[in-house]
């Protein structure tokens, strides 16, 4: 005779109301951040072929996307610039009239305090070689020379009005260098978001289309080895010690274990970036009829939150926020 089970977890799954009552992981629109690409020299939005539904915005389109993000209740937008010209030092990153700095000011004006305006602080979009820093004579990325460029870039972005600076270059000492520059120039209230555990990942492929990257080779000498998890915790702890206000794990989905480890020890908020490859994978699989698009999106974002992210950068931020505001359950 088969014994009758006494412990029945299924009791709490019996109805939608019960499932909603005992849900462990919750998501709010304010925990979502929308990455936004702004391209110099265009007048209408340009589709990105490898990221269906995502576009490069003209400078004149920033106010509209900021208003949409604010109306949706998002926590903020993260701006990336796509300049018309590039050079070895990424000079466009620090010019006051550079595309990213102009976009920051336009976004801040449009936001009027309703959402946070965040800016990517990295040179890869602005260098003609596509690396995240300046190069030494032997062609390697010069870590310490790059720190000086990051400090200048931080000041340019702070002057333009950015509230959160996303340090994504993975140079040693970048948080300390930027914090010192900001504090010394009277920008002590500008927030540093450190991309602390950023991996040398194949999942960035479509992003490089979005920013029209000129990279030749790879970034394995400064971005992290995908095989390493403890190192991700070490990087996060180092960035926190240097003054990071928030730390990031990137990509999100393939590195949920790292995200969980970092969240377990972090004394500051932990965010995660659901990157372009994660987005494209679901979009193309859904277009092929292989998966249920909306359920896959919801499950992927919930998984990132469940692993420990306090906020998620995702290209689906507006769509997911719309579902949440309509009262729809993601689980």
Of the candidates 198, 219, 261, 305, the residue annotated as catalytic is 198
Does residue 198 carry a catalytic annotation? Answer: yes
Maximum pairwise Cα distance, the chain: 79
Alpha-carbon distance of 184 to 172, in angstroms, equals 20
* Helix, strand, or coil (residue 107): helix
Q: What stretches of the chain adopt beta strand conformation (E)?
A: 32-39, 46-47, 55-57, 76-82, 116-121, 164-167, 191-198, 246-250, 270-273, 311-313
Of the candidates 102, 149, 179, 250, the residue annotated as catalytic is 250
* Helix, strand, or coil (residue 73): coil
Does residue 250 carry a catalytic annotation? Answer: yes
| CA angle 281–287–291, rounded 5-degree value | 70
Q: How many residues does the chain have?
A: 331
CB-based contact 244:218 (threshold 8 Å): no
Alpha-carbon distance of 175 to 238, in angstroms, equals 9
Alpha-carbon distance of 105 to 96, in angstroms, equals 10
Residues marked active site are found at: 198, 250
């Amino acid at each position: 005779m088969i014994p009758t089970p006494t412990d029945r977890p299924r009791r709490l799954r019996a109805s939608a109301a019960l499932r909603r009552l005992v849900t462990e992981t919750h998501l709010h629109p304010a925990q979502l951040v929308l990455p936004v690409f702004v391209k110099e020299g265009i007048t209408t939005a340009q589709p990105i072929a490898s990221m269906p539904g995502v576009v490069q915005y003209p400078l004149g389109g920033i106010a509209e996307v900021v208003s949409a993000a604010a109306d949706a209740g998002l926590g903020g937008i993260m701006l990336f610039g796509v300049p018309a010209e590039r050079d070895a030092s990424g000079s466009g990153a620090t010019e006051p009239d550079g595309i990213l700095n102009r976009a920051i000011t336009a976004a801040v004006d449009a936001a009027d305090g309703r959402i946070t305006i965040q800016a990517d602080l990295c040179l890869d979009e602005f260098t003609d070689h596509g690396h995240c820093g300046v190069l030494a004579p032997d062609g390697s990325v010069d870590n310490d020379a790059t720190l000086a460029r990051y400090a200048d870039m931080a000041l340019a972005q702070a002057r333009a009005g950015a509230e959160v600076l996303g340090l994504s270059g993975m140079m040693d000492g970048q948080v300390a260098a930027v914090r010192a520059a900001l504090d010394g120039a009277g920008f002590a209230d500008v927030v540093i978001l450190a991309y602390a555990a950023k991996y040398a990942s194949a999942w960035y492929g479509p992003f490089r289309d979005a920013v029209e990257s000129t990279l030749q080779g790879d970034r394995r000498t400064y971005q992290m080895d995908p095989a390493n998890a403890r190192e991700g915790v070490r990087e996060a702890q180092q960035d926190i010690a240097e003054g990071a206000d928030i730390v990031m794990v990137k990509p999100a989905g393939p590195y949920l274990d790292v995200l969980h480890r970092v969240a377990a020890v972090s004394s500051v908020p932990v965010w995660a970036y659901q990157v372009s490859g994660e987005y494209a994978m679901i979009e193309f699989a859904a277009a092929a009829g292989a998966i249920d698009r909306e359920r896959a999106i919801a499950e992927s974002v919930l998984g990132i939150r469940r692993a420990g992210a306090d906020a998620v950068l995702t290209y689906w931020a507006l769509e997911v926020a719309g579902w949440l505001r309509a009262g729809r359950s993601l689980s």
